[in-house]
Amino acid sequence: MKRDQRIVQSERAIIEAGISTFVSNPSAGMSDIALASGVGRTTLYRHYDSREALIRGIALHCFDEIDQVLRPLYDKTGRELIEATFRLLIPIADRYRFLNGLWQEAGDNALVAQKLSEWNRDTLWLMDNAKATNEIDADIPSVWLSNFFDMILYTSWSLLESEELNQEDAIHLAIRSFFKGCGK
Amino acid sequence: MKRDQRIVQSERAIIEAGISTFVSNPSAGMSDIALASGVGRTTLYRHYDSREALIRGIALHCFDEIDQVLRPLYDKTGRELIEATFRLLIPIADRYRFLNGLWQEAGDNALVAQKLSEWNRDTLWLMDNAKATNEIDADIPSVWLSNFFDMILYTSWSLLESEELNQEDAIHLAIRSFFKGCGK
DNA sequence: TAGATATGGTACAATAGTGTTTCATTATTT
DNA sequence: AAATAATGAAACACTATTGTACCATATCTA
């Protein structure tokens, strides 16, 4: 029994349009998402019972996608791991951004809240690990590092998206700025 | 003829509550702002005819405030200017943030749109100037620099606001990260 | 103190967004 | 080709939000 192709097509379109629409306009309504995904508003409600459910669904999708993209990095550490994370995440940092803008409404849902806090813990570990390998200055608080990392990631993506930088340059500038800054 | 104190008090409260409320929740409604500012909803409408007018009013206030704070820097250049700008702007970067989240709806208002583009031009100049004095690597595109600057500014403010860093540390980390990065 | 005026509350109309139901149409699977 | 299932459109009730009008009260200026 094959899965109906209309369903997979609709779901794909909804998730994709949902991410980009919500990232550029967090207060977008169900009509906006329906329009952007080229799907009827009724169909949207058939797939997600409510706006809240839609946001939760997109969030879980984003967690999965990021997990999958990052899976090959399990054996890396320190600076190399941070660089590789930049490289893999920058092209899909809209997912990252969507999740980051979520802590507000996420209190509702236990699963999302838990994943968010796990993820926060992972980012802190990423930084502490690079401190341990002596590739990041240990004087810098980890909370700064993890926020700095997040912000660079999103800045790169956003300049990539607006076609002000190409992917290669965006990745290079992210890594370079993170470790060496922009001074002479 | 003295200005009625109730008016100045209401306006101050509205602007202040408006900035912090909109920054933490861009889709906040007029009731939210009224509540946060401790002013009746009717009074809020007496000061600003509409939600749009309120946002525009806050924006113009923010432009003014930033202009004033930055005025003493007119004779500085290069790295020194960038450092001083961090120092002066970080404590009020919520204003900066409010304006940054504005380009979406700003298309409506010509004055706001113009100020936004002027301001963007100034930031680019700030970077090019430091390139000219050889304190920033000229290889780095100015569009990256100005976005990098903005996001460091906001990151510092946000960690300051959440009391995860004190003001001194936030400023120091901003400047250090901008010029030297976080590597060893 | 007296006059003027800003305020807060209630009530109200208009609008926009949410979520549901029904039905004819279209696409997919078998 | 036939049965099945997903879709889009329209109509609907419901809720939240916007913006206005009025009035009694509190506060300011002169």
- pLDDT per residue as tens digits for the range A20-69: 999 999 999 999 999 999 999 999 999 999 999 999 999 999 999 999 99
**Better-predicted residue by pLDDT, B102 or B123:** B123
Contact B136, A173 (CB under 8 A): no
pLDDT at B122: 95
Query: Among positive and negative, which fits the CA dihedral A127, A129, A133, A138?
Result: positive
Segment B66-89 mean pLDDT: 97
Mean pLDDT for chain A? 95
Window B:96-155, CB contacts with A under 8 Å = 104, 134-137, 140-141, 143-145, 147-148, 151-152, 154-155
Q: A71 beta carbon < 7 A from strand C? A: no
Mean pLDDT for chain B? 95
Structure tokens at B85: 């700008």
HEC letters along chain A: CCCCHHHHHHHHHHHHHHHHHHHHCCCCCHHHHHHHHCCCHHHHHHHCCCHHHHHHHHHHHHHHHHHHHHHHHCCCCHHHHHHHHHHHHHHHHHHHHHHHCCCCHHHHCHHHHHHHHHHHHHHHHHHHHHHHCCCECCCCCHHHHHHHHHHHHHHHHHHHHCCCCCHHHHHHHHHHHHHHCCEC
pLDDT at B125: 97
Indicate the pTM of the whole model.
0.94
Q: What is the dihedral of CA B115, B120, B121, B125, to 10 degrees?
A: 140
Q: A27 beta carbon < 7 A from strand C? A: no
Contact B51, A130 (CB under 8 A): no
Segment B78-95 mean pLDDT: 98
Q: Which of A66-80, B109-123, B159-173 has the lowest mean pLDDT?
A: B109-123
User: If phi over 0 gives left and psi between -120 and 50 gives alpha, with beta otherwise, what is residue A72?
Assistant: alpha
Segment B28-48 mean pLDDT: 98
Give the gap in angstroms from C-alpha A79 to the nearest C-alpha of chain B: 9
Give percent above pLDDT 70 in chain B. 97
Q: How far is the CA of B9 from the C1' of C6 (A)?
A: 11
pLDDT at B103: 72
Contact B174, B153 (CB under 8 A): yes
pLDDT at B107: 59
Confidence of residue B165 (pLDDT cuts 50, 70, 90): very high
pLDDT at A107: 60
Statement: residue A108 has pLDDT above 80: no
| CA B72 distance to own-chain centroid | 17
pLDDT at A153: 98
Segment A128-156 mean pLDDT: 97
Does A20 contact chain B (CB < 8 Å)? no
Segment A132-149 mean pLDDT: 97
Give the gap in angstroms from C-alpha B179 to the nearest C-alpha of chain A: 4
B11-35 pLDDT, tens digit each: 999 999 999 999 999 999 999 999 9
Q: CA A88, CA A68: separation in Å to the nearest integer?
A: 10
Contact A84, A126 (CB under 8 A): no
Q: CA A141, CA B170: separation in Å to the nearest integer?
A: 10
Confidence of residue A109 (pLDDT cuts 50, 70, 90): confident
Q: How far is the CA of B47 from the C1' of C14 (A)?
A: 22
Segment B62-70 mean pLDDT: 97
